């Protein structure tokens, strides 16, 4: 099985984590349900391992081969990574990653287009523990104005999941490194399939695996992958906070991972076709999709990413009521939170409520689309019909 040549990502997605001692004679790592792990004798219990294992068997809170197989596969997707911790949601992954590096008195920098619950964690929980959060323009170029002596960590998200500005992750990480600041990236939109983070300078890369990794809208899961320097504290923090993922959920996520490459390519092609079609519509003010030149940070996306996923937004001309009526008029697009599954979703979103540095004009109404794996012609027909049904409104 071993080969000196680094394997391509699609191959790693298929082979990752499928160690013989995890799978037994079957292809996928099965669901190992366990709280208690049994030892052969007291001597091996005291030695902290089961005699016939690689030393990881201990107790259910530390997982079992089902979770280890998934974690190993995610680690394998990030060159330079040494390990991955799993969490019961993406939000738990973000919170635990931040808690593993921050101390009272620190300043956390957070991109102004960050996922709203990341802001809530910072403005609520972290504030109570004496950690101050300062927000910055995602398209920052003047670094001296944001870093200070107390800056300890910086949370990035590229692109932001409502307005899609793409940050210059390598440049920001370079500036952070010069100042001894830890960098964390929410990489949920691209996944390591389209953006490997650690080799761009990121210290900890975070996924809401709920989205594309799981890919089927039926499991909540998060992950953090890191290199040698932060691995021990990441692992210890997760263990001290009692973070553990159900083996059934880990199993479903491993299943999702096997098809990530084909799904991502399909999301990409279909989303781009629909985004370009939306650009031709007179009802649309602008389309916010990182692969389109009009998206802020497009040149950075083109330089750093190997592709684009299925989530983007557009600004619909007219009132909030019109935006709501447009979404209601859609038939194939479900109305609901989350994304990354096989099915399409549409949602009016309100960035003006979760920003402080770069305000978003309340009069500009955004509709966010998650393009699923349906036929793109059917999705376009659905959008066209919704435009038709809402023509009279303003
Ligand atoms: C959904 C999401 C999360 C949180 O993931 P959950 O599993 O829902 O907790 C974090 N970041 C981004 C960008 C997301 O879209």
For residue range 236-267, what is the model confidence (pLDDT) as tens digits? 999 999 999 999 999 999 999 999 999 999 99
For residue range 145-189, what is the model confidence (pLDDT) as tens digits? 999 999 999 999 999 989 999 999 999 999 999 999 999 999 999
pTM over 0.75: yes
Give the C-alpha separation, 276 to 60, whole Å. Answer: 49
B/e letters for 218-252, b = 16+ CB within 10 Å, e = fewer, are ebbbbbbbbbeebbeebbebbeeeebbbbbebbbb
From the alpha carbon of 189, which atom of ligand 1 is closest? 13
From the alpha carbon of 160, which atom of ligand 1 is closest? 13
Q: Encode the chain (394 residues) as per-residue pLDDT tens digits.
A: 455 677 888 999 999 999 999 999 999 999 999 999 888 888 888 876 655 455 678 889 999 999 999 999 999 999 999 999 999 999 999 999 999 999 999 999 999 999 999 999 999 999 999 999 999 999 999 999 999 999 999 999 999 989 999 999 999 999 999 999 999 999 999 999 999 999 999 999 999 999 999 999 999 999 999 999 999 999 999 999 999 999 999 999 999 999 999 999 999 999 999 999 999 999 999 999 999 999 999 999 999 999 999 999 999 999 999 999 999 999 999 999 999 999 999 999 999 889 999 988 888 999 999 999 999 999 999 999 999 999 988 8
**The pLDDT value given to residue 271:** 98
**The pLDDT value given to residue 45:** 82
Looking at the DSSP assignment, which residues form a beta bridge with residue 208? 222
Give the C-alpha separation, 126 to 131, whole Å. Answer: 5
Give the C-alpha separation, 392 to 31, whole Å. Answer: 54
Residues with a catalytic annotation lie at 61, 115, 186, 211
Answer yes or no: is the C-beta of 209 below 6 A from any ligand 1 atom: no
**The pLDDT value given to residue 1:** 47
- Residue 208: partners with Cβ closer than 8 Å, 6 or more residues away: 89, 90, 91, 93, 186, 188, 221, 222, 340
Q: How far is the CA of 91 from the centre of ligand 1 (A)?
A: 6
Answer yes or no: is the C-beta of 97 below 6 A from any ligand 1 atom: no
Sheet of 222-226: strand order equals 83-87, 222-226, 204-208, 182-186, 151-157, 107-111, 132-136
Greatest CA span in the chain, whole angstroms?
A: 79
Q: How far is the CA of 24 from the centre of ligand 1 (A)?
A: 33
**The pLDDT value given to residue 361:** 87
Q: How far is the CA of 206 from the centre of ligand 1 (A)?
A: 10
């Amino acid at each position: 099985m071993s080969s000196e040549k680094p394997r391509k990502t699609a191959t790693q997605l298929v082979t990752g984590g499928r160690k013989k001692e995890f799978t037994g004679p079957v292809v996928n790592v099965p669901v190992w349900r366990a709280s208690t792990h049994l030892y052969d004798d007291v001597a091996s219990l005291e030695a902290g391992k089961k005699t016939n294992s690689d030393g990881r068997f201990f107790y259910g809170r530390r997982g079992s081969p089902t979770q280890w197989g998934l974690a190993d596969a995610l680690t394998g997707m990030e060159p330079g990574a040494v390990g991955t911790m799993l969490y019961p949601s993406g939000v738990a992954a973000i919170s635990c990653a931040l808690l593993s590096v921050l101390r009272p008195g620190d300043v956390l920098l957070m991109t102004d287009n960050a996922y709203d619950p990341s802001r809530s964690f910072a403005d609520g929980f972290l504030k109570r523990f004496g950690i101050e959060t300062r927000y910055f323009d995602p398209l920052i170029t003047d670094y001296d104005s944001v870093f200070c002596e107390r800056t300890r960590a910086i949370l990035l998200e590229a692109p932001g999941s409502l307005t899609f500005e793409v940050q210059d992750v390598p440049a920001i990480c370079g500036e952070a490194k010069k100042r001894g600041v830890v960098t964390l990236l929410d990489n949920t939109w691209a996944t390591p399939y389209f953006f490997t983070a650690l080799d761009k300078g990121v210290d900890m890369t975070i996924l809401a695996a709920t989205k594309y990794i799981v890919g089927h809208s039926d499991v909540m899961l998060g992950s953090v992958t890191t290199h040698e320097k932060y691995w021990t504290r990441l692992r210890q923090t997760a263990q001290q906070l009692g973070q553990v993922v159900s083996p059934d959920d880990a199993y479903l996520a491993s299943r999702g991972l096997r098809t990530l490459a084909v799904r991502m390519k399909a999301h990409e092609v279909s989303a781009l076709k629909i985004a370009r079609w939306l650009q031709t519509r007179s009802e649309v003010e602008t389309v916010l999709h990182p692969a389109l030149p009009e998206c802020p940070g497009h040149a950075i996306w083109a330089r750093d990413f190997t592709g684009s996923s299925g989530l983007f937004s557009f600004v619909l001309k007219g009132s909030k009521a019109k935006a709501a009526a447009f979404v209601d008029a859609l038939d194939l697009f479900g109305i609901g939170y989350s994304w990354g599954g096989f099915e399409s979703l549409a949602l009016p979103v309100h960035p003006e409520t979760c920003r402080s540095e770069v305000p978003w004009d309340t009069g500009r109404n955004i509709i966010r689309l998650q393009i699923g794996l349906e036929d793109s012609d059917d999705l376009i027909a659905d959008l066209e019909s919704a435009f038709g049904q809402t023509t009279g409104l303003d």
